[in-house]
Chain A
Amino acid sequence: MYPNRFEYFAPTSLQEALSLLSIYQDEAKLLAGGQSLLSLMKLRLANPKYLIDLGHIADLNYIRQNGDKIAIGAMTTYAQIKDSELLRKDCPLLVKTASVVGDVQVRNRGTIGGSLSHADPAADMPAAVLASGAELKAVHLNGERWIKAEEFFVTTFTTALAPNEILTEIRAPTLAGHKTIYLKAAPRPTDFAIVGIAACLRLGPNNRCEGIAMGVTGASDKAYRPQALEKALQGEKLDFYTIREAAARVTEGIEVNENIHASSGFRSHLAQVYTARAIQTAMNS
């Protein structure tokens, strides 16, 4: 509960933060709400020598329409996402997911950019950005690039971000007309997911699946899109049996996690049950 010694910086501009990051690289950690990082530091499981707090950079906290997409600043809190009218209208999946992250205190402090960059394999937001087909903006001193959500999560606590890059924006397509849901299995409502399933569907006549994107968290070393499952349902008429049969493929090709809260067998089972329930709930929403 007593972290190692570290040096703290509170840059007021992105440029300044990037400069600090380019100097300290792997020895530095970005503080973006601190709901995960500070706990790890207090247990001395994370021991950064330099902490660069992004909380004082004004232009990283926004939710705004940008053409047919919605742009969310990386330092936007879960609470702001949960309460955003714009997102509720055009990208409700992010609202639904942010609403069940942690508890009120966590939602008031934690940020979407912090969660995604931290890449906890059981965090909620990664599932939602995967299912909504979002793109993530990585900025470094000499430029920027866009990373697709599917390519962003590499493994536990590891993303596609280079040591000198900062995630500054999440851009999600507007999903009007889509059916979306995020459901998670967790011992208590405030916990990390044992498995969390985000679903985004476009239904045609007779419940034919015209588009499907799913995000799975908690099951593996990283959040992922279950491609075999999506493929199995694409173009199909979504009835109870089709969904149940396809749900069995949610962990296909995945090495499923095991810890004291769930064995891998139970976790796989829950992934299937929650996948089926998520699709059914989304259809009925």
Chain B
Amino acid sequence: MLKLDEILVTRNWVGKPVRRKEDIRLVKGEAAYVDDLNMDCYQAAILRSPYAHARISRIDLTKAGALKGVVAVLTGQEVARETKPISARAITRPATQYVMAADKVRYVGEPVAAVVAEDRYIAEDALDLIEVEYEPLKPVVTIEDALKPDAPLVFEEAGSNVLMHDKMQHGDIEQAYREADLTLKEKFKVHRYSSTPLEPWAIIANYERASDSFVVWSNDQQHGRSLTNVCNTLGIPIHKLRLIVPDIGGGFGIKLALWPYIVILSLLAKKVSKPVKWIQTRREHLLAGSHAPDANVEIELALKKDGRILGLRITDIQNDGSFVHTAGIYGLIKFATMVGCYGIKATRAELLSIVTNKAPTVQNRGVGKPTMIFALERMVDIAAKRLGLDPSEIRLRNFVKPDQMPHTTPSGEIYESGDYPECLRKALRLVGYEESKKKRDDGRKTGKYIGIGISSGVEPGTSNLGYYYTARGLPEYTGNAEGAIVGIDYDGNVNVILGSVDSGQGHATTTAQVVADMLGISPERVSTANTMDSLISPFLGHSGVYSNKFNDVDLGAVIMATKKVRDKMLKIASHMLGASVAELKLKDGKVCLAKNEEKSVSFREIASLAYKRILLLPEGVEPGLKEIAYYKNPIAKLPNREDFNIQLTHSNSVHVVVVEVDVETGTVNFLRYVIVHDCGNQINPGIVEGMVIGSTVHGIGASLLEEFVYNEEGQLLSTTFMDYLKPTAIGVPKFELGHMESACPYTLLGTKAVGEGGSLPSLAAIANAVEDALSPFGVKVTSLPITPEKVLRAVRETKEI
């Protein structure tokens, strides 16, 4: 692996809070999202099921098709004839689902027909004219419903509503239980919530009749995979689809699986003579976009009296709704880091993916890790209480120690670096732990209910794709990698084309910082294209913006491509200056002699040879100054049930939260919110800070406000932002941040994941704080969200939230 000194020739930009290049354009509304693309389009609207579970006995589009301005219609039956079913990844039972329901609907909001019209208003009017007769079936809404012996089957062919049931054991769990002084068990419930990016899903599809091929523009977060999925489903070879991803207005995982809608739009485009556009409405997004699954997690610790955790057992039941493509994935990702920051040596996991008549689920920010950390960190607090230990002490006794790094967990996850104990101590110093405890204890005497909550968490990044191997055998994808093209233009400025598209992370800024320090120029001279075009861009099946992989493999590809360009420039400069490459250095956009900087050639002069005066190039050097490189993470292991790393980098953080609970109204108010975060070396601390805060706010929303509420009929009751409550700038606490930088030995820049971070430990930190505040009432927190009504009920009656 390249060393940092071999990569960077200057240290002027990497590690500095350089202002984001992207912001002016975004703030001024000059971004080009799919809906901004200036194209003459027809517009599509999608008819969605009003029932959670029903047979479609008749569908008639005659009236809709006859409405003036309507140019095409599509039904589920036609889709079933023309396409293959949605491919499953993790589940082991057969379950056939098409991108549009043909004979049976399985959730409220499932597409049953689509209309293309001259404008969206006409298309929406036409939906009202579609006649559908449904025979309602009994819906399966909750996990408990689904597991009843006489439960209706969501997929009859599966013979069960459990589509995946896997058991895995690592380390000597029997020994752990034998040696334990006590075991503690608890059940936790986490509700459905999601990310709801500002820009919903957006697709334009154009069918080019002459070449019998499609061009699609979409804000797809994982285009490398979508290309395959769309083509396989449509039954066309890859070269018949060109996929273009322009600006993405937020992703958070929610745009990882919008490809079924690309299939629908492609089918519609084929029927008409203009591009067809579909911009998802907010209601559609909340109703049938994607949620994080609700889950029941049972967790058991095998402990010594001194607080050491010897063994950990979980039974994880995911309500994955109705979407066979992602079902099962959450449990497997959760399992990867189930031991959290702790040196637990033996684990047993039982993972169930349940299908119900709820909306699809997809990899929402953190993918199950928020739930896992919530259960684990709550459990550690429960253990501390039982053993009479301070919550900080029990954690310090169990953390992996810095001298044990890199540490391999029982299942094979490699924690590459970090000082977990110091991270906690630093957070305790920041909050003033002893003082805070005194304030809490004094408050109780005067009827103020203050609580302190601590949570630690590992934040994995760069998925080793194919983690869903566990149940199905060798997967289609393994490892993780990305591509990049780096070119120097005639003027000696740098252009970068990435394999992934920024959806808010600041790729252009960080890329420019790295390239600038690799070439000895300023970041202003580096431009990054924020578009992916499958015909032009470098990409792999792993490509996309997800799993916090940018710092690792995306920048890895940029670095390798830049190095190729740099090597070539040095070779040409060496020829021009009559000196060996070893005698040269890069400085201020020039290559000069290290010993005599006056003697130099500028990038522009080098480019002039490479592009124009090619007869002056040294022997054997190709013209041009543009290089492509692909970079794969070096420590990904091949699928193996005994020893496998599902994630390839591991950041960590500690959240310490102080809340005051108003026991008369049930409201939780933040008094302090301290975060100490370690994502290895930081490329841009300003961006890191923004990500840490943003993701924490997401966790606050999940803990206190956001919930997709379903009734017994499987109707979603929170389908607008008046009912699905996102946190707003008013009402979030002031965050106090501390940073640590434990360089990662396995990434080129020593960086690790950032972006999901805050959304992981925040749930448990807040829950632990609320439970601490309510300890005079003996209230236990085992579920989320912590709403005022639940708090009040717990204080007065149930003693449990």
A contact set with B: CB distance below 8 Å: 1-5, 39, 43-44, 103, 185, 187-192, 260-263, 266, 269-270, 273-274
Contacts of B45 in A (CB 8 A): 2
Of the residues B125, B281, B725, contact of A1 by C-beta under 8 Å: B281
The one of B717, B728, B789 in contact with A188, judged by C-beta atoms closer than 8 angstroms, is: B728
B62 at the interface (CB under 8 A from A): no
Cβ A266 vs Cβ B792 within 8 A: yes
Query: When the two chains form their complex, are residues B725 and A191 in contact, meaning their CB atoms are under 8 A apart?
Result: yes
- Residue B124, interface by CB 8 Å: yes
Interface centre among A2, A262, A274, by most B CB within 10 Å?
A: A2
Q: Which residues of B contact A263 (CB under 8 A)?
A: 789
Please judge, given known A-B contacts A1-B283, A43-B720, A260-B718, whether A188 and B730 are in contact too, CB under 8 Å: yes
CB distance from B430 to the nearest CB of A (A): 27
Taking CB atoms, residues of chain B closer than 8 Å to A261 are: 723
A44's closest neighbor in chain B, by CB? B124
If A263-B789, A269-B792 touch, whether A189 touches B125 (CB-CB below 8 Å) is no
| A260-B731 contact given A1-B283, A5-B121, A188-B705, CB 8 Å threshold | no
* 20 CB < 8 A contacts A-B: A1-B281, A1-B283, A2-B45, A3-B121, A4-B125, A5-B121, A39-B720, A43-B720, A103-B730, A185-B665, A185-B788, A188-B725, A188-B730, A191-B722, A260-B717, A266-B666, A266-B788, A266-B789, A266-B793, A273-B664
**CA of A266 to CA of B125 in the docked complex: distance in angstroms?**
40
Task: Point out the residues of chain A lying under 8 angstroms from B705, CB to CB.
Answer: 187-188
In the bound complex, residues from chain A placing their C-beta under 8 Å from that of B121 are: 2-3, 5
Interface string of B784-800 (1 = CB under 8 A from A): 00011100110000000
B727 at the interface (CB under 8 A from A): yes
B120 within 8 A of A: yes
Q: Cβ of A4: which chain B residues have Cβ within 8 Å of it?
A: 125
Of chain A, the residue at the smallest CB distance from B717 is A260
The chain B residue with its CB closest to the CB of A104 is B730
Query: Which chain A positions have C-beta within 8 A of B93?
Result: none
Q: Which 10 A-B pairs have the closest CB atoms?
A: A1-B281, A266-B789, A2-B124, A260-B709, A189-B730, A260-B717, A273-B664, A187-B725, A2-B121, A2-B120
Q: Mark B248-281, 1 if CB is under 8 A from A, else 0.
A: 0000000000000000000000000000000001
**A270→B730 contact, CB < 8 A:** no
Q: Is the CB of B665 within 8 A of A270?
A: yes
- CA of A261 to CA of B666 in the docked complex: distance in angstroms? 13
Within 8 A of A (CB), among B707-751: 709, 717-718, 720, 722-723, 725, 727-728, 730-731
Chain B residues within 8 Å of A, Cβ to Cβ: 45, 120-121, 124-125, 281-283, 664-666, 705, 709, 717-718, 720, 722-723, 725, 727-728, 730-731, 787-789, 792-793
Count of chain A to chain B residue pairs whose CB atoms are closer than 8 Å in the complex: 57
Q: What's the least CB distance linking A117 to chain B, in Å?
A: 20
- Assuming A266-B788, A269-B792, A270-B665, what are 8 further A-B pairs, CB within 8 angstroms? A39-B720, A43-B720, A44-B124, A185-B665, A188-B731, A189-B728, A191-B722, A262-B789
Which residues from B are CB-within-8-Å of A188?
Answer: 705, 725, 727-728, 730-731
User: Chain B contact residues: over half helix, strand or loop, or mixed?
Assistant: loop
Min CB distance, B786 to chain A, in Å?
12
On whether the beta carbons of B731 and A189 are closer than 8 Å, the reply is yes
User: In angstroms, how far is the closest chain A Cβ from the Cβ of B179?
Assistant: 47
Q: Are A190 and B792 neighbours in the complex by a CB distance under 8 Å?
A: no
- Complex CA–CA separation, A146 to B294 (angstroms): 54
Distance in angstroms between the alpha carbons of A269 and B124 in the assembled complex:
43
Bound form: Cα–Cα A44–B281 in Å: 13
Q: Inside 8 A of B717's CB, which chain A residues have their CB?
A: 260
Report chain A residues within 8 Å CB of B281. Answer: 1-2
CB-nearest residue of chain A to B124: A2
In the complex, what distance in Å separates the CA atom of A9 from the CA atom of B329?
53
Quick check: B730 and A190 within 8 Å, CB to CB?
Answer: yes
Chain A residue numbers with a CB within 8 Å of B723 are 260-261
Determine the chain B residues whose CB is within 8 A of the CB of A3 once the complex forms.
121
Bound CA span A263–B727, Å = 22
Which B residue's beta carbon lies closest to that of A270?
A: B665
* Distance from B281 Cβ to chain A, minimum over Cβ atoms (Å): 4
Chain A residues contacting B727 (CB-CB under 8 Å) are 188
Q: Which residues of A contact B282 (CB under 8 A)?
A: 1
Shortest distance in angstroms between B64's beta carbon and chain A's nearest beta carbon? 15
* In the bound complex, CA of A103 to CA of B727 (Å): 13
A276: min CB distance to chain B, Å: 9
Q: Inside 8 A of A43's CB, which chain B residues have their CB? A: 283, 720
* Residue from B125, B665, B725, B728 in contact with A103 in the complex, judged by beta carbons closer than 8 Å: B728
The CA of A43 and the CA of B722, in the complex, are separated in Å by: 12
- Give the chain A neighbours of B718 by CB distance below 8 A: 260
Q: Does B664 contact A190, Cβ atoms closer than 8 Å?
A: no
Closest to B284 in A: A1
CA distance A63 to B256 in the complex (A): 53
Chain A residues positioned under 8 Å from B124 (CB to CB): 2, 44
- What is the distance, in angstroms, from A170's C-beta to the closest C-beta of chain B? 26
By beta carbon, the residue of chain B nearest A187 is B725
- Closest chain-B Cβ to A94's Cβ sits at a distance in Å of 21
Q: CA–CA, A269 to B795, complex, Å?
A: 14
Taking CB atoms, residues of chain A closer than 8 Å to B665 are 185, 270, 273-274
Cβ of B788: which chain A residues have Cβ within 8 Å of it?
185, 187, 266, 270
Q: Which residues of B contact A185 (CB under 8 A)?
A: 665, 788
Please, which residue of chain A has its CB at the minimum distance from the CB of B123? A2
Q: In the complex, A274→B662 CA distance in Å?
A: 12
Report the Cα distance A249→B95, complex, angstroms: 56
Q: Give B701's nearest chain A residue, CB to CB.
A: A188
Shortest CB distance A106–B (Å): 12
* Contact residues in A for B125 (Cβ distance below 8 Å): 4-5
Compute how far the CA of A44 lies from the CA of B725 in the bound complex, rounded to whole angstroms.
21
Q: In the complex, A231→B409 CA distance in Å?
A: 69
Expressed in whole angstroms, the minimum distance between the Cβ of A186 and any Cβ of chain B is: 10
Q: Which residues in A have their C-beta under 8 angstroms from that of B709?
A: 260
Chain A positions within 8 Å of B720 at CB level:
39, 43
A266 / chain B contacts, CB cutoff of 8 Å: 666, 788-789, 792-793
Taking the nearest CB of chain B, how far is it from the CB of A267, in angstroms? 9
Q: Which of B121, B125, B717, B725 has the most CB of A within 10 A?
A: B725
Q: What is the CB-to-nearest-CB distance from A111 to chain B, in angstroms, rounded to a whole number?
A: 19
Cβ contacts under 8 Å, B283 to chain A: 1, 43
List of B residues within 8 angstroms of A273 by Cβ:
664-665
Q: CA of A209 to CA of B9 in the docked complex: distance in angstroms? A: 79
Known: A270-B665, A273-B665. Is A192-B728 also a contact (CB below 8 A)? no
A148 to B45, CA, bound (A): 47
Q: Using CB atoms, name the residue of chain B closest to A185.
A: B665
C-alpha spacing A103/B281, complex, angstroms: 22
CA distance A260 to B711 in the complex (A): 10
Shortest distance in angstroms between B282's beta carbon and chain A's nearest beta carbon?
Answer: 6
Determine how close the nearest CB of chain A comes to the CB of B294; give it in whole angstroms: 15
In chain A, what residue has the closest Cβ to B667?
A185
In chain B, what residue has the closest Cβ to A269? B792
Complex Cα distance A189/B282, Å?
22
The residue on A at minimum CB distance from B720 is A43
Tell me which residues across on chain A come within 8 A of B728, comparing CB atoms: 103, 188-190
| Chain B residues positioned under 8 Å from A187 (CB to CB) | 705, 725, 787-788
A262 vs B788: C-alpha distance in the bound complex, in angstroms?
A: 9
Give the chain B neighbours of A262 by CB distance below 8 A.
789
A190 vs B705: C-alpha distance when bound (angstroms): 13
B789 partner residues in chain A, CB cutoff 8 A: 262-263, 266
